Structure 1
Amino acid sequence: MSVLSPEVEAIVESGEFATLDLIRFDLPGKTVGYHRGGRPFTYNGLKYLPNRYLEAGDINSSVGVAVTTRTIVFSNIPVADPEDAVAQIEQYDYPNSPVIITHLAGVPATNEVVGILVSNIYEIDRISYNDDALDAKGSGLLTLTIDLQPPGRSARGQTLVKRSKAEQQFDNDATDTGFEYVATVGTIPEEWGQVSR
């Protein structure tokens, strides 16, 4: 059974299609997108900024309970553009922020987008900076590497980060209230199960 739309499936079957890789960050208070094209590109109402998103990076997985992680790489850090949130990512509370990587299929001759090939949701695990060579003016640039993990407590295992009740319900059961008292259990005794009085 195919999960592709009929239009995307038809263009894939034809063997002649172009792909466009988009990456969207939903940082606290700011949503920003990037792609590897040469000019800004608007998709689903969000303007994706060009030329910064270098590569989708490696996907690492293993047999057993380890989760599949992904690394993405950005160039030219820092930049002066105030809309470029990745260049100023340290100003945001970025850990566990959602990141959506989408691969679009389109018509090569016209660049018309037909639909989505695949889309993956991750969360930011950690970031690191690597020194690059000097630019034409002699200024040093950095490459920003962002390590991603699948969303959800069950995928990451123990993180020692308080998760929301909504995420607990997503991971387990829609009626799960196990996280309802997380903020208080360290200081206030909570009664669980049957209590005899």
Structure 2
Amino acid sequence: MSLDPAVTTQIDKGGIARLDLVRFDIPGLPPKGYHMGGRDFTFNGLVYKPNRFLSMGSMTSAVGTAVTTRTITFSNIPVNDPDDAMAIIEQYNYQNSPVIIAHLCGVPNTNEVLGILASSVYEIDQVRYNKGAISGSERTLTMEIDLQPPGRSARGSTGVKRSMAEQKFDNDANDTGLEYVATNASIPEEWGQRSG
């Protein structure tokens, strides 16, 4: 992906403002967005809510079959806003829901957004809650959402069976590499070249 020329020009000037956005597309809910700013922010027609989104977390990766994961953090759970997706996420089938994390480039000390620096697509793996201290008569929670990249590697770790259509989407349209995955534990399959 190439950067917008306005973004490249601003980077060459030596100073940018970065705005981090996170968008959730949870089945049964309209798209919801959050950012770390102090007021509502509209981007591409979606209103991103402020202050709840605390941390982008860091990516953790490993060699072998492990997938790269990322953990993002939200605060102040629960809240009274019935439209807040983070407060009601447990009411929905959120696992494997798409999450888009975008980093916008802007001009420092202004509200001018020049374009997108980078964006990444993930799927929700799990949601965890950490208890906070009691304030008055109420205890709040910090919520951590573990994300994984979409596709076969993440789905393999969640136990979701892949269809041939999904396999072909991730690879070549003629790929049949996983054709026998559902049966190879119980039915011997011959792979590779045949001898004699």
TM range (shorter): 0.7 to 0.9
CA drift of 1:82 comes to 1.3
Determine the C-alpha separation between the residues in 1 that align with 2:161 and 2:66: 21
Q: Is the 8 A contact 1:19 1:103 kept in 2?
A: yes
1:192 alignment counterpart: none
Structure 1 runs (4+) greater than 6 angstroms displaced: 177-180
2:96 maps to which residue? 96
Q: In the superposition, relative to structure 1, how do residues 177 and 65 fare at CA in structure 2: closer, same or farther (>3 Å)?
A: closer
Q: Paired residue for 1:26? A: 25
Q: What is the TM-score normalised by the length of structure 2?
A: 0.83
TM-score by length of 1: 0.83
Question: For the Cα contact (< 8 Å) 1:150–1:156, is it kept in 2?
Answer: no
Q: CA RMSD in A?
A: 2.4
2:46 corresponds to:
46
- How much identity, in percent, do the aligned residues show? 64
Q: Give the corresponding residue for 1:188.
A: none
Long gaps (5+) in structure 2: 184-196
Q: 1:63 Cα deviation (Å)?
A: 2.7
**1:46-100: CA deviations, max 9, x gaps?**
0001100000012101233322100000000011111101111001100000000
Distance 1:79 1:58, change over 3 A: same
Task: Establish whether residue 150 from structure 1 lines up as the match of residue 163 from structure 2.
Answer: no
Does structure 2 retain, via aligned residues, the 8 Å contact 1:67–1:156?
no
2:67 corresponds to 1:59 = no
In 1, are the aligned partners of 2:67 and 2:153 still within 8 Å (CA)?
no
Equivalences, count: 182
The residue that corresponds to 2:190 in the other structure is none
TM-superposed CA distance for 1:158, in Å, is 4.7
Separation of aligned partners in 2, 1:166 and 1:25? 24
Can you give the 5+ residue segments of structure 1 that lack an aligned partner in the other structure?
Answer: 186-197
The aligned amino acid for 2:45 is G
Corresponding residue number in structure 2 for 1:133: 133
Q: Alpha carbons of 1:84 and 1:175: their partners in 2 closer, same or farther (altered >3 Å)?
A: farther
